[in-house]
């Protein structure tokens, strides 16, 4: 495939976000799109970014079988350290053991990189997100501001959502720290709890369960998608059900914005069985 201009920055941002999830990048190419993904070592967070063929200046898949490969994200990001890249051509041969990059810089300098492939299994997270009863759409900048109020050493947070019937009363959503008594001194630990008015913070909110529900998830993995949404730019949509069921986080874009950007992303996060 070939890329130029601002699209290179979008690709770099996606790879950087995936690098915060895991150390390896899985690549899967089909004629209509290319999917890059990463999973953390404990397999509790899976993130994928899908680039449709219209995202690229040119995009071709010649192999009869679906080309799949794995690369170390650290090695891949070294390619993007080159300042002011005007364009790049990338080739992945399913029979080779490397990805080949040809860069043209703004000053006319040409650079070539070869990134070695590693053995990696391409995984997919299969979740029927459309059946999830709780949906929250947040303005990403505002969501980032709320997350910044939590202490940087915190591992997990809890989101509590009241049913739609309680939305008019305000403060239908709560975010608060999750502290494991086995790991911290509960008497000395700092706790943060936010009660959020859905009318002022969220662009859309729905809880069709008929009762309050909550999920507990890893805040740093969650922030990876929020930061990518901010760079796109896009709002952030969360979908979930009950404790123990995965939390789905995605950029929330209008049909026109999807058509313009030609790429999308998804984060699947494991949640604790009990909060």
Q: Are 155 and 115 in contact (CB under 8 A)?
A: no
Task: Enumerate the β-bridge partners of residue 25.
Answer: 71
CA angle 235/237/80 to nearest 5° reads 60
Secondary structure (DSSP) of 188-199: T----EEEE-HH
Distances (CA, A) of 205 to 133, 200, 271: 11, 11, 20
Q: What is the pTM of this model?
A: 0.92
Instruction: Determine the pLDDT at residue 254.
Output: 75
Residue 216 pLDDT > 90: yes
Q: Give the least confident one: 119-128, 143-152, 210-219.
A: 119-128
Confidence of residue 93 (pLDDT cuts 50, 70, 90): confident
Cα–Cα distance for residue pair 4/266, rounded to 1 Å: 24
Secondary structure (DSSP) of 202-234: EEEEEETTSS-EEEEEEHHHHHHHHHHHHHTT-
Mean local confidence (pLDDT), 140-169 = 87
Q: Are 72 and 43 in contact (CB under 8 A)?
A: no
Instruction: Determine the pLDDT at residue 66.
Output: 73
Give residue for tokens 């992303």: 265
Q: Are 43 and 75 in contact (CB under 8 A)?
A: no
Cα–Cα distance for residue pair 236/250, rounded to 1 Å: 6
Domains of the chain: 2-118 (3.70.10.10), 129-248 (3.70.10.10)
- Cα Rg of the chain (Å, integer): 20
H or E stretch including 175?
Answer: strand 173-178
Percent of the chain with pLDDT over 70: 94
């Amino acid at each position: 495939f070939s890329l130029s201009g601002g699209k290179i920055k979008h690709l770099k941002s996606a790879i950087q976000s995936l690098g915060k999830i895991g150390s390896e990048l899985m690549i899967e190419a089909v004629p209509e799109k290319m999917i890059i993904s990463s999973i953390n070592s404990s397999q509790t967070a899976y993130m994928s970014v899908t680039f449709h063929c219209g995202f690229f200046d040119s995009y071709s898949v010649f192999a009869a079988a679906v080309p799949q490969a794995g690369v170390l994200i650290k090695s891949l990001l070294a390619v993007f350290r080159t300042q002011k890249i005007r364009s790049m051509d990338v080739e992945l041969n399913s029979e080779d053991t490397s990805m080949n990059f040809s860069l043209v810089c703004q000053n006319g300098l040409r650079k070539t990189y070869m990134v070695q492939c590693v053995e990696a299994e391409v995984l997919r997270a299969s979740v029927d997100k459309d059946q999830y009863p709780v949906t929250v759409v947040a303005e990403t900048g505002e969501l980032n501001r709320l997350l910044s109020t939590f202490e940087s050493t915190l591992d997990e947070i809890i989101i509590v959502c009241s049913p739609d019937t309680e939305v008019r009363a305000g403060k239908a959503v709560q975010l608060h720290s999750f502290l494991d008594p086995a790991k911290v001194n509960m008497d000395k630990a700092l706790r943060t709890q936010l009660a959020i008015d859905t009318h002022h913070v969220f662009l859309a909110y729905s809880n069709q369960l008929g009762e309050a529900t909550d999920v507990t998830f890893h805040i740093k993995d969650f922030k990876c998608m929020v930061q990518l949404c901010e760079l796109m730019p896009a709002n952030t949509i969360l979908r979930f059900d009950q404790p123990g069921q995965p939390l789905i986080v995605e950029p929330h874009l209008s049909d026109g914005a999807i058509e313009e950007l030609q790429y999308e992303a998804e984060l699947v996060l494991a949640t604790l069985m009990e909060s």
